[in-house]
Amino acid sequence: MILYDMIYLLTAIGLTRGGSSTVHIYTQTIYRTTQLTQTIYRTTQLTQTIYRTTQLTQTIYRTTQLTQTIYRTTQLTQTIYRTTQLTQTIYRTTQLTQTIYRTTQLTQTIYRTTQLTQTIYRTTQLTQTIYRTTQLTQTIYRTTQLTQTIYRTTQLTQTIYRTTQFTN
């Protein structure tokens, strides 16, 4: 197509189709220059496309790096969240454990108090029994004292009776 355009151009300026070889050489040179210019233009276009692709590739690479960083940060954040939840659970468990420990201490104290109360009750029962026994012992003692007095009185009465019998 460019070859025909050259022929028309040469014809328009007054040269014939089989004109001089200089015109032919110029024509070939112009044709090759045009071809090279078109190749350079396409190469420039391709170079610009490659440049933009490289820029985009670098942007995509940085975006990928950022995405990976965001992913790892999200993973760490989730781990931190779960750790925080576990820490709160451990704290509440510790609080409950302390409460259970104090309750156990109180239960042991209540048990010992109950044991002491039962001992005090039995001691009180025994004390009442001892008091009644002491009362009985005192009564027995007084009775014994009276019995001895009665015995002596009886002895005296018999002696008086025999003396009276003897004197009469």
Residue-by-residue pLDDT tens, the chain, 168 positions: 444 455 555 555 555 555 555 566 666 777 888 888 899 999 999 999 999 999 999 999 999 999 999 999 999 999 999 999 999 999 999 999 999 999 999 999 999 999 999 999 999 998 998 899 999 999 989 988 988 988 889 999 999 888 888 887
Cα 104 to Cα 67, 97, 109, 116, 137, distances in angstroms = 54, 10, 9, 18, 48
* pLDDT at position 1: 44
For residue 27, give every residue at least 6 positions away whose Cβ sits within 8 Å of its Cβ, in sequence order, or none. Answer: 3, 6, 10
Quote the CA–CA distance of 90 and 95 in Å, as a whole number: 9
Q: Determine the angle formed by the axes of helices 21-167 and 2-12, rounding to 10 degrees.
A: 140
Read off the amino acid at residue 9.
L
Dihedral angle, C-alpha 145, 148, 149, 154, nearest 10 °:
160
* pLDDT at position 31: 81
- Per-residue DSSP letter, 16: -
Quote the CA–CA distance of 132 and 126 in Å, as a whole number: 10
Say if residues 100 and 92 touch (Cβ distance below 8 Å): no
* pLDDT at position 150: 87
Count Cα neighbours of 40 within 13 Å in the Cβ-side half-sphere: 6
* pLDDT at position 11: 52
* pLDDT at position 18: 54
